[in-house]
Chains A and B, each alone.
Chain A
């Protein structure tokens, strides 16, 4: 790419120079890791999903390229464009999420997916970033137009989504959605007492889920009493980390990954640990931390409430997802099936994460003051 002059006022020039380039580079690095990890985990996965390894690699290669394209394309949008896209996709995703209850593919006891030729889509993945943006818009409008019942409307939107997710059931996704929502309320300046109340409510709901959903119950029990229950997955993951050590066994030299269930998705971090060791894992972790912490701090220079809340929500969602994945594969929290953004295998999740990051980049582009169009 020829160097773009600062004086270049073309569309491309303005996009490039207004963009948060550091975040873009970090996302590129993550996609690169995703490519490498896909090669590492592919033999086991190919075996599991009964496809030849070549098909599998080509497919994921296509998804990763598509994800990069989505990030770049969406980042061209204006904040208003982001809002409209979020509204459009949000409605579609909500409808599809509702559809899963009727026409969903049942995998491991949950109806979260809709089968399309070539891939199965989890619409709630797309719902997550869209809902964050829409919540931000409702909350910000409240400030611009006194009397606008933004908080109430946002809460009202959350209820059907929460009910849908509970019905699937997808308690993990529900937790993330609610956590992001609370984080946005917090950033919006909600009374700390109310924030505490919301957190307490979440905790209470968690306890409720513990008693209501058998699978949640068993996972928490197994986390609390590792010696008792069947902790095969987590123990194996920890063995993978232990096998890798500081520098790892080397690319393709992992062996625990072959017996590790979900090595390609929920436990891809363990595969990275086995083959590339602690150093590379820390590097991956560092990239996520960089995107999240830098993104949040950078928002302090942003004057527009909608942008702050929307970007803050998207970053929180991205960071929480990464944290939950890494922490559960390290047995820091109970196992929760959540993908590691850009690194885990899976078309639908990569595209959804790319959508969120694209929106983030679009929102954080430098603008003339007040230029939200």
Chain B
């Protein structure tokens, strides 16, 4: 590039050229450098744009359109502090836990506590937050001596961030631990279910697991309600009655060396269960450590052959349908041979019996003949209506399904044997419900464990009428007759006009019925003149002793226990023995075993009596004559071939 030399005199100046050599590569390098500088600017601009984009997105994500975390993810955040009253001088408690809602109480009908939850705490720790884990373990052991020192030490020195240390700390223990001031220890509010009555009504109450969830009994049936309700759960049970029944059952069980027992007291008008005992039982506070045998509730889960107590049903269905008359006679003179089976009577009279005698002497043969007269179809309809084929509507998850032959298997033999309570297995509560319905005027009640409102003035019972009041009236007299003149005499309590029926069923083993292994039950209702309560007492495999003459039948082992229960609970329930006008009441209830000779009481089936809807009988029924022996004797001649598998094997399935 030409340049004028500096400092040269202008005048006379000979223009001197000075040459600065700039090489071509040099020029190229300068041009390249200029390009580089330009491009540096562009690169800077480019980065500026990138960072601006990040800033915009940042503003968008934080302020403009913030995406809020879902609540559970930040559950550990302390709750927002809301001061309810502005200007309040009360300190705002941050992180205050909501009050722990305890599981509701269960009380009996008189508001006596049966189950209650007490507040407790669970202790857990984060050993990583601790300063000295070994010292902490020692301190904890000193504060709550029942804790296991080795366990504490092992867990606290495990190096993990979460270890469970103790459940069910009482408030005192929680306070003692809190006072230690050890960092890294935390409490979780919890609760502990207590059953202050221990074994009383254990199977009814059931129990809870470690998480306070109901796992059996009403605890399970009402689990949700108990967790959410604001009112205690009031049961129909009366712990006084429950106590009496349990005591008497236990005494009888011990005396007769029974393997189990069951007792029920029910209000025959409302269906409220006042007592439900199943032995052996357990301490509800230790549900988890309870053997299954003790958890078994014989009253609703156990399915037993009802035995002779079912003869009440057979009599009722015959009388209510008009198939039989109270003074009809039935052949108990000779055993019935049918197929492989022979039906006989226990201590039989070996003669024709009137219907009251059939019940008083508990004649199987008589009952079989009555059942035959009724017929399979009507028998099934009656029992179905009585609820014998279905699960009971009781508030217990353990309620079981009766074991009933199918319609196809309901042969003549089944009709006969079910007539005296064999070949079918129902729970004791089924039996009680049926008898209560027979006694209360004929209204089918629903057994319940919840306290019910009192009956209205004009209400006889709470249920649907399924039989004529007159039939119920007759059944009351018959039940009373069993206690005054039959096998139930040991159940009588002066002034309470107890009526009832014994039922002794041999238990079914692997190979048919087991001899001398009985289920001996007595079902009763009192007072018979105005029925209020049904009492059921049952012993499983009792053994007779000297006082019973070696017998283990219901009349010997269960009836006395029922009598003792009635004597004790009557006054508790506000029923005083009616001794003043006893004779008059007794006369009103009386029914003779046999028709009075030449008396005015109707006897035999008169031609005007046959029911219009007479069901087809097993044999073609000849025209009825004045002498019932003829046609009913005809029934006794049944030799129809029967299938071999008539029987299902019930009862033991329930154990």
Contact = CB atoms under 8 A, between A and B. Distances in A.
A340 B39 CA distance: 26
B570 to A, nearest CB: 67
Given A246-B62, A323-B51, A189 B32 contact: yes
A326 B59 CA distance: 13
Contact of A285 (B36, B51, B63): B51
Given A293-B44, A296-B43, A256 B54 contact: no
Interface stretch (A5-13, A124-132, A275-283): A275-283
B62 A241 contact: yes
Interface in A275-308: 277-278, 281-282, 285, 288-289, 292-293, 296-297, 299-300, 303, 305, 308
A305 B35 CA distance: 11
Contacts of A292: 44, 47, 51
A239 B43 contact: no
A332 interface: yes
Contacts, number: 135
B71 to A, nearest CB: 11
B50 interface: yes
B33 A241 contact: no
A239 B68 contact: yes
Nearest to A332: B57
Contact of B55 (A188, A240, A282): A282
Contacts of A332: 53-54, 57
A183 B43 CA distance: 8
Nearest to B29: A143
Given A281-B62, A285-B51, A238 B76 contact: no
A239 B69 contact: yes
**Chain A facing B: main interface SS:** helix
A244 interface: yes
Contacts of A281: 58, 62
Interface residues of B, number: 38
Contacts of A117: none
A135 B44 CA distance: 20
Contacts of A235: 67
B40 A300 contact: yes
B61 interface: yes
Nearest to B28: A143
A243 B69 contact: yes
A305 B33 contact: yes
A319 B58 CA distance: 17
Nearest to A237: B61
A327 interface: yes
Contacts of A69: none
Contacts of A34: none
Nearest to A293: B44
Given A143-B29, A187-B36, A305-B32, A245 B50 contact: no
A312 interface: yes
A255 B77 contact: yes
B26 to A, nearest CB: 10
A299 B44 CA distance: 11
B73 A186 contact: no
Given A244-B62, A330-B58, A288 B51 contact: yes
A47 interface: yes
B426 to A, nearest CB: 58
A297 B41 CA distance: 6
A187 B40 contact: yes
Interface residues of A, number: 52
A316 interface: yes
A225 B53 CA distance: 21
Interface in A54-87: none
Contact of A245 (B32, B62, B74): B62
Contact of B40 (A146, A258, A312): A312
A285 B62 contact: no
A172 interface: no
A303 B73 CA distance: 56
B154 interface: no
A239 B61 CA distance: 8
Contacts of A278: 58-59, 62-63
A289 B47 contact: yes
A308 B40 contact: yes
B576 interface: no
Given A241-B66, A332-B53, A293 B48 contact: yes
A15 to B, nearest CB: 25
A248 to B, nearest CB: 9
A348 to B, nearest CB: 25
A187 B76 contact: no
A327 B63 CA distance: 17
A171 to B, nearest CB: 20
B44 A282 contact: no
A303 B29 CA distance: 10
A297 B59 CA distance: 27
Nearest to A183: B43
A236 B67 CA distance: 9
Interface string B212-240: 00000000000000000000000000000
A52 B128 contact: yes
Given A245-B66, A300-B37, A255 B73 contact: yes
Contacts of B571: none
Given A186-B43, A255-B69, A288-B51, A242 B62 contact: yes
B62 A303 contact: no
**Among all A-B residue pairs, the 5 with the closest Cβ atoms:** A242-B66, A278-B62, A241-B61, A242-B67, A296-B44
16 contacts: A146-B25, A189-B36, A236-B69, A239-B67, A239-B70, A240-B69, A243-B74, A285-B55, A292-B51, A296-B41, A296-B43, A296-B44, A296-B47, A300-B37, A305-B32, A308-B40
